[in-house]
Structure 1
Amino acid sequence: MYGKDEQFFGTNGTGGPAYEPVKIAVLDSDISPKHLKPFRMRIKARENFAGGQQNAADTDHGTTVAQLVLKACPTAHVYVAQVTKLNSFGESAVDAEAAAKAIEYAADPTGWGVDIITMSFGWTHVNKRISEALSFAKQHGVLMFASTTNYGFTETNSILYPGRAQEVICVDAAEDTGQLAGFAIEDIIQGRIERFSAPGLGIKSAISGESMDGSSFACPLAAGIAALALEFARQIPLCGSKSVQEAVQQREGMVRILREMSKLNSSSSSRFLCPWELLGDDDGVYGGDGRPGSARYFVAYRFVRLLRQEFGSDIGKEIFP
């Protein structure tokens, strides 16, 4: 991703101009800034959309989710949206109206104007306000990721909403070997939803240090991997193509890219994300400088070829006629 001596870290290339960092909104509980201190310069905003209080212990979830995003994409800027508050049982729960407002504000160019939204929550039912917000975000070219479920087939609708919404890329939890977690859905034809998976077992809590499991933690890792793909498109040579920039920001384009950097387990319908399958360099020379003949140039061509399968032959013609 960043080349030898990190000449591509935050720039188009050696001596090139800086590219716009990928902006990711994390919709979750509040965070503990103390436990994210090493990343403080990359946390650009923190806002409470729910308006109420939450249990202090629940910041563990949001802090861990935010940390996973920050680690997965080392240059991304993160915007934290608290969408949880105490319910009548004294427990912190996601407030649907708060989540809808957060999605809209995160996607709006006059708000945060993010590239990616990650949502580690869901309901069994479709929520109209959330649906409206998802549609708004898609219109603004925002990629959205949501966790699938931690309950297998015990829920009425196995893949939770918004994970099963057509605008969203849904993410399962898996072991680090790629095997789906025991609480995931092994196989389902629910609307022929394409699913991806990422490590979600044995995740170390950012606050307590305890081991945590759930698709909640796989989801931000998938969002971070997508951010790496967006970053690559902002580096040489793809930075010279506006059509590539627009295509990779669309859900359909990103799904094509994620398919290429994932593996399908024969016993599951969920593809395990392996970013090195696309963004790796077998020769171990950091991909070169992006000029013709370099590994980076070849990977860029693979990006374009994949996007052309979805959007047509005009994609990337500025670079690859």
Structure 2
Amino acid sequence: MRVYPTADIYVGRVFERSRAVEPTSSEESTAVEHTSYLMAQAIHHAIDEWKTDIIVIPSGLENYCEDLNRAVDAASNAGILIFAAASNYGNVMGVTFPARKYPYWKLFCMFATTPSIRANCGFNPTHLGAKYNFAILGEDVMIPFTQNVRSGTSYSIMIGAGLAGLILEFARHEAAKGGEDRLEKLPTVEGMSAVFATMTGDEKDNGYDCIVPWNILSQKLRSDIADKVAARRDVLQKIIAALERCY
């Protein structure tokens, strides 16, 4: 909410317990009780009923799940951006499922950075060597309306998803009129990745592409007294240029 205050947010509960429940034998609980099944059903509900632009999956599973895999593919094919948490266990677990689909352009996996924009958080798993291994703030995140701070890639994907939502909203703004045909690829993993890449600069940090949102603005337009019309025009041009390079 702090990143994208005007977003309409829908919440689907997929955890019956404090931890994920995964099937390990045919004698255990039915598929309805499995967290992976509930996650898949929540995604289908977001596609068919809520008709969301973005789906956030702040948890992951150690093992592959076919139901969840099909649900993620369905959302991707429906033009919905998916953000999935990498995991908070370093290389003990590695990148969890479904986040590990990110090298195949099916969704976004966000790793965490420190407030100083370094991707050296001990809980980050090693990236999978994709073209982009995006990381955004995920350490010492201040929780709204409290004095609590939290850390984890779950917070990174919420911030990343909020940023993507702002970009999608901007593309529907009055300032973007006339450029709709050039913005049609924006709500795709490839398109949004191209825009995120304009915010990362040329240097990687430990192999991660660290997102600095204000990098999309030219230096002279970053102050509070900058010409807002010029700033919007500048951002629009940056987005269009990124999409044209991508496609």
**Counterpart among 95, 98, 123 of residue 38 in structure 2:** 98
**Counterpart among 60, 84, 89 of residue 151 in structure 1:** 89
1:167-189 alpha-carbon deviations (Å, 9 max, x no partner): 1110112210111211213x54x
1:169 counterpart = 2:108: yes
1:182-240 alpha-carbon deviations (Å, 9 max, x no partner): 1213x54x362622112222234458744322111111001001111111111133233
Distance in 2 between residues matched to 1:214 and 1:306, nearest whole Å: 29
1:120 counterpart = 2:51: no
Contact 2:2 2:144 in 1 (8 A): no
Q: TM-score, normalised by structure 2?
A: 0.83
Listed as ranges, the gaps of 5+ residues in structure 2 are 22-34
1:195 counterpart = 2:126: no
Structure 1 stretch 221-230 or stretch 278-287: which is displaced more?
Answer: 278-287
Residue equivalent to 1:78: 9
Letter in 1 for 2:184: E
Distance in 1 between residues matched to 2:227 and 2:10, nearest whole Å: 31
Residue equivalent to 2:26: none
Contact 2:20 2:61 in 1 (8 A): no
Distance in 2 between residues matched to 1:245 and 1:307, nearest whole Å: 7
The secondary structure found in structure 2 opposite 1:261 is coil
Residue equivalent to 1:142: 80
1:220 counterpart = 2:158: yes
1:247 counterpart = 2:174: no
Contact 2:110 2:157 in 1 (8 A): yes
Shift of 1:153: 1.4
The secondary structure found in structure 2 opposite 1:248 is coil
Shift of 1:72: 0.5
1:257-316 alpha-carbon deviations (Å, 9 max, x no partner): 011112465441222221111146236445433xxxx232232122111111222xxxxx
Contact 1:83 1:98 in 2 (8 A): yes
Contact 1:84 1:92 in 2 (8 A): yes
Distance in 2 between residues matched to 1:288 and 1:212, nearest whole Å: 33
Letter in 1 for 2:20: A
Distance in 2 between residues matched to 1:264 and 1:236, nearest whole Å: 31
1:107 counterpart = 2:47: yes
Listed as ranges, the gaps of 5+ residues in structure 1 are 1-69, 312-321
Residue equivalent to 1:33: none
Letter in 1 for 2:233: Y
Contact 1:164 1:193 in 2 (8 A): no
Letter in 1 for 2:114: E
Question: How many percent identity over aligned positions?
Answer: 26
Structure 1 stretch 191-200 or stretch 227-236: which is displaced more?
Answer: 191-200
The secondary structure found in structure 1 opposite 2:174 is coil
Residue equivalent to 1:256: 194
Q: CA RMSD in A?
A: 2.2
Q: Residues 296 and 215 of structure 1: is their aligned pair in 2 closer, same or farther, counting only changes over 3 Å?
A: same
**Counterpart among 286, 295, 310 of residue 246 in structure 2:** 310
1:76-117 alpha-carbon deviations (Å, 9 max, x no partner): 11111111112xxxx443611111011111122xx1110011
- Figure out how many residues of one structure are paired with residues of the other and give that number: 228
Distance in 2 between residues matched to 1:154 and 1:283, nearest whole Å: 43
Distance in 2 between residues matched to 1:154 and 1:193, nearest whole Å: 24
Q: Residues 107 and 78 of structure 1: is their aligned pair in 2 closer, same or farther, counting only changes over 3 Å?
A: same
Shift of 1:251: 0.9
The secondary structure found in structure 2 opposite 1:74 is coil
Q: Residues 245 and 112 of structure 1: is their aligned pair in 2 closer, same or farther, counting only changes over 3 Å?
A: farther
Shift of 1:255: 0.3
Contact 1:170 1:194 in 2 (8 A): no
Contact 2:217 2:231 in 1 (8 A): no
Structure-to-structure mapping, 1:251-290, within 5 angstroms: 251-263=189-201, 266-279=204-217, 281-282=221-222, 284-289=224-229
